[in-house]
């Protein structure tokens, strides 16, 4: 069970209403026990081992070339060495591996009094020490003598420190992003444990339980940590990966694979957005192998988040209304409703999930955005004006008009800031399908006293807006810049300054449209003509997640539901011909994405 055979690559591709991860088998090696995957950025390669096959393997993700070095003992783990080459936890020894010469040089040995022990999993700490643990070799398939293993660290000076013993099967190791916590798995405890970690000395203390696996989750094996500090745990005989929040002790996501013996995992790829998974074929009979032909191979998930069919992310089309340009979604917690607009059809909608009832108010101009008003009713960015909407009386009352000198512009997206101001931007009206004059738009704020401030102009298509959790940063999208931008934001005055790029979209991501922010400060950006929503870390400028939908014209998104854990996504059908609509029968619908493992924050209401 500590002996599992292969690595996998997981690629997210949300399809139909059940979307999610596409799992690709990238190395078909039939490893007896694939283990210890680690990404080598310099070589664009995945390093891993076959424990009982006694091999160290390196797979180049660009050339797809696989190279192997055979060694003379079971190899529990291999890690890169800063000065070149690799370090192995092999048999009962730490050793250097010279890849070019294919020579192994012993550094130090452990467990001298236990002839039947061997190293299992290992990993390097943030200070460069190599941690690895031991276990007893199997007496017969799946049977080991218990409490024979220990955890060791190979220091930079080649000395070895023993941290503790009485281990059954030493497995997954990793450290928190702040390096203060060491996470560890002894597989037969069926638990993930945490220790306080002193990075300077390498000492561990204060062991406690983080997560106890349930029966169907099987046996915890290897693990890795993501940029948000969440743990990914491979479950041997469970055919799945669990994403665990070590702060709360909750499982927040499950990824199932087409094989049972999942052994370990690591992130890799050019921006570490791909998850590679090793697996095993040890102790599998012919019938088992026939049913799981990809066992003992390597798979990966690319730009993944969850495997829908396995019960994590679920994408459901909750309204199949074929809106022309669905936009401006906002959750109304008090009513338990989703507020949104259809820009070109000039309608404002309110959908009640409980009753599935849709209410509509038709207005006399294109409606770019609709937001709740704190004192009741709504505020619209409609045509070239800000206006109040009395829903019950279906009455629209003008507040202020903008751009009096320009007849060919209209409002597009808008949102309320944390102080209750309504910000919305404009764009030129199309002269013919898909064509409009550029640089005609501007960004405005409707103040709580009903005055209007113009922030800047020369905008092409004013789109997604939101604010950081501390209210000090304003995020903004001018779609044809193909970027998400940030400004310093003065909440007291509403002034913006110091514009800079947060994220530049890649060609296949298409056109950035609406956006929202989650409770972890990450941005969710809908990509028009890209059929996806991107999750972006504005601090690092990295895309950390992609949710693909079964339609191409995704327009905007917001969080909602009773605890803001549902992501609602609006879409469009404008300029789609019959053939396109036949291929995308859910185009123009509104989608609900659940199981993301993250929540949003309540929207703000206009205070004027």
Confirm or deny that 327 is annotated as ligand binding.
Answer: yes
Let me know whether 166 and 47 are in one domain. Answer: yes
Let me know whether 319 and 307 are in one domain. Answer: no
Let me know whether 416 and 502 are in one domain. Answer: yes
pLDDT score for 252: 86
Indicate whether 604 belongs to any domain. no
Q: Are 462 and 451 in contact (CB under 8 A)?
A: no
HEC-encoded secondary structure of 450-480: CCEEEEEEEECEEEEEEECCCCCEEEEEEHH
To the nearest 5 percent, what fractions of the chain are helix, strand and coil? 5, 55, 40
Confirm or deny that 499 is annotated as ligand binding.
Answer: no
Q: Range with the lowest mean pLDDT among 21-35, 180-194, 202-216, 294-308?
A: 294-308
Task: Indicate the pLDDT class of residue 21, thresholds 50, 70 and 90.
Answer: low
Task: Indicate the pLDDT class of residue 16, thresholds 50, 70 and 90.
Answer: very low
Active site residue 513: yes
| pLDDT at residue 297 is higher than 70 | no
pLDDT above 70 as % of the chain = 89
| pLDDT at residue 488 is higher than 80 | yes
| pLDDT at residue 299 is higher than 50 | no
Read off the pLDDT of each residue in 388-401 and give the average, rounded to a whole number.
96
Let me know whether 168 and 82 are in one domain. Answer: yes
Partner residues linked to 225 by β-bridges: 231
HEC-encoded secondary structure of 302-333: ECCCCCHHHCCCEEEEEECCCCCEEEEEEEEC
Closest CA to 237 of 213, 267, 253: 213
| pLDDT at residue 311 is higher than 80 | no
Let me know whether 291 and 327 are in one domain. Answer: no
Q: Are 225 and 175 in contact (CB under 8 A)?
A: yes
Q: Are 302 and 273 in contact (CB under 8 A)?
A: yes
Confirm or deny that 294 is annotated as ligand binding.
Answer: no
**Number of domains present in the structure of the chain:** 2
Q: How far is CA 430 from CA 338, 409, 529, 589, in A?
A: 28, 9, 17, 23
Using one digit for the tens of pLDDT, what is the confidence trace for 430-445? 877 667 889 999 999 9
Indicate whether 348 belongs to any domain. yes
Let me know whether 424 and 279 are in one domain. Answer: no
Let me know whether 287 and 403 are in one domain. Answer: no
Indicate whether 601 belongs to any domain. no
pLDDT above 90 as % of the chain = 76
Indicate whether 504 belongs to any domain. yes
Indicate whether 127 belongs to any domain. yes
Q: Which of 274, 294, 312 is the last residue of a domain?
A: 312
pLDDT score for 344: 94
Helix, strand or coil for residue 579?
helix
- Within 13 A of 177's CA, how many CA atoms are on the CB side? 9
Read off the pLDDT of each residue in 81-106 and give the average, rounded to a whole number.
96
Using one digit for the tens of pLDDT, what is the confidence trace for 215-274? 878 899 999 999 889 999 999 999 899 999 999 999 988 888 888 889 999 999 877 888
pLDDT score for 404: 77
- Within 13 A of 14's CA, how many CA atoms are on the CB side? 31
Nearest 5 degrees, angle CA 490-CA 496-CA 499?
A: 130
Across the chain, mean pLDDT equals 89
Q: Which of 258, 284, 312 is the last residue of a domain?
A: 312
Q: Range with the lowest mean pLDDT among 67-76, 351-360, 501-510?
A: 501-510
Using one digit for the tens of pLDDT, what is the confidence trace for 31-88? 678 899 999 998 899 999 999 899 999 999 999 999 999 999 999 999 999 999 999 9
pLDDT score for 284: 44
| pLDDT at residue 508 is higher than 80 | no
Using one digit for the tens of pLDDT, what is the confidence trace for 250-265? 998 888 888 888 999 9
Indicate whether 13 belongs to any domain. yes
Check: pTM over 0.85? Answer yes or no.
no
Q: Are 218 and 196 in contact (CB under 8 A)?
A: no
| pLDDT at residue 302 is higher than 70 | no
Indicate whether 308 belongs to any domain. yes
Nearest 5 degrees, angle CA 2-CA 62-CA 543?
A: 80
Separation CA 75–CA 69 (nearest Å): 11
Confirm or deny that 412 is annotated as ligand binding.
Answer: yes
Let me know whether 378 and 351 are in one domain. Answer: yes
Let me know whether 322 and 305 are in one domain. Answer: no
Let me know whether 324 and 275 are in one domain. Answer: no
399 alpha-carbon distance from chain centroid: 41
Confirm or deny that 430 is annotated as ligand binding.
Answer: yes
Q: Which of 282, 312, 342 is the last residue of a domain?
A: 312
Read off the pLDDT of each residue in 358-365 and give the average, rounded to a whole number.
96
pLDDT score for 296: 39
Using one digit for the tens of pLDDT, what is the confidence trace for 552-595? 999 999 999 989 999 999 999 999 999 999 999 999 999 999 98
Let me know whether 382 and 458 are in one domain. Answer: yes
Let me know whether 140 and 180 are in one domain. Answer: yes
Q: Domain range spanning residue 286?
A: 8-312
Confirm or deny that 506 is annotated as ligand binding.
Answer: no
The residue count of the chain comes to 608
Q: Range with the lowest mean pLDDT among 351-355, 504-508, 534-538?
A: 504-508
Exposed / middle / buried, residue 228 (Cβ in 10 Å: 0-12, 13-18, 19+) = middle
Using one digit for the tens of pLDDT, what is the confidence trace for 162-187? 999 999 999 999 999 999 999 999 99
Read off the pLDDT of each residue in 346-351 and give the average, rounded to a whole number.
97
Indicate whether 379 belongs to any domain. yes
Q: What is the CATH number of the domain that holds 242?
A: 2.120.10.30
pLDDT score for 434: 65
Separation CA 526–CA 431 (nearest Å): 25
Choosing from 168, 174, 513, 518, the catalytic residue is 513
């Amino acid at each position: 069970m500590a002996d599992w055979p292969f690595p996998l690559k997981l690629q997210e591709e949300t399809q139909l209403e059940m979307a999610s991860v596409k799992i690709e088998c990238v190395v078909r090696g039939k490893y007896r026990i694939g283990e210890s995957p680690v990404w080598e950025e310099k070589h664009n390669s995945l390093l891993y081992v076959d424990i009982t096959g006694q091999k160290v393997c390196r797979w180049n993700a660009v050339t797809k070339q696989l190279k192997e070095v055979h060694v003379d003992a079971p190899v529990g783990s291999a890690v890169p060495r800063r000065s070149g080459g690799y370090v192995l936890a092999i048999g009962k020894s730490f050793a250097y591996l010279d890849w070019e010469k294919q020579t192994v040089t012993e550094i130090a040995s452990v467990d001298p009094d236990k002839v039947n022990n061997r190293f299992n999993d290992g990993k390097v700490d943030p200070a460069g020490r190599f941690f690895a643990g031991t276990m007893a070799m199997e007496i017969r398939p799946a049977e080991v003598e218990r409490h024979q293993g220990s955890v060791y660290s190979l220091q930079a000076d080649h000395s070895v420190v023993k941290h503790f013993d009485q281990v059954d099967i030493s497995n997954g190791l990793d450290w928190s992003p702040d390096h203060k916590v060491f996470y560890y798995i002894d597989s037969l405890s069926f638990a993930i444990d945490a220790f306080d970690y002193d990075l300077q000395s390498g000492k561990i203390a204060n062991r406690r339980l983080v997560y106890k696996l349930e029966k169907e989750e099987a046996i915890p094996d290897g693990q890795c940590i993501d940029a948000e500090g969440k743990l990914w745990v491979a479950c041997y005989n469970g055919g799945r990966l669990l994403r665990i929040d070590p702060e709360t002790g909750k499982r927040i996501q499950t990824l199932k694979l087409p094989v049972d013996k999942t052994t370990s995992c690591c992130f890799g790829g050019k921006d570490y957005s791909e998850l590679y998974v090793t697996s095993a074929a040890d102790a599998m009979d012919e019938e088992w192998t026939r049913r799981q032909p990809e066992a003992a191979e390597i798979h990966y998930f690319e730009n993944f988040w969850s495997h829908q069919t396995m019960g994590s992310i679920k994408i459901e089309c909750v309204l199949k209304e074929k809106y022309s340009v669905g936009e401006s979604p906002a959750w109304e917690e008090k009513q338990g409703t989703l507020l949104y607009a259809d820009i070109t059809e000039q309608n404002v909608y309110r959908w009640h999930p409980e009753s599935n009832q849709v209410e509509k108010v038709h207005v006399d101009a294109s409606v770019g955005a609709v937001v709740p008003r704190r004192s009741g009713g709504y505020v619209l960015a409609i045509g070239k004006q800000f206006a109040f909407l009395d829903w019950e009386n279906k009455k629209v009352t003008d507040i202020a008009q903008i751009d009096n000198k320009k007849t060919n512009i209209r409002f597009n997206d808008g949102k309320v800031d944390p102080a209750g101001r309504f910000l919305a931007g404009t764009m030129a009206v199309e002269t013919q399908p898909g064509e409009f004059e550029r640089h005609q738009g501007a960004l405005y704020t409707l103040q709580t006293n009903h005055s209007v401030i113009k922030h800047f102009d020369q905008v092409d298509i004013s789109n997604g807006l939101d604010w950081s959790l501390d209210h000090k940063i304003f995020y903004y999208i001018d779609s044809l810049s193909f970027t998400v931008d940030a400004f310093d934001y003065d909440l007291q005055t509403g002034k913006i300054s110091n514009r800079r790029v947060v994220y530049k979209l890649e060609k296949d991501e298409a056109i950035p449209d609406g956006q929202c922010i989650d409770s972890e400060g990450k941005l969710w950006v809908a990509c028009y003509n890209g059929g996806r929503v991107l999750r972006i870390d504005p601090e690092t400028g990295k895309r950390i997640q992609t949710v693909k939908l079964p339609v191409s014209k995704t327009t905007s998104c917001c969080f909602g539901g009773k605890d803001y854990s549902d992501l609602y996504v609006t879409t469009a059908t404008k300029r789609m011909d019959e053939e396109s609509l036949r291929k995308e029968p859910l185009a123009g619908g509104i989608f609900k994405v659940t199981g993301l493992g993250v929540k949003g924050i309540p929207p703000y209401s206009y205070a004027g």
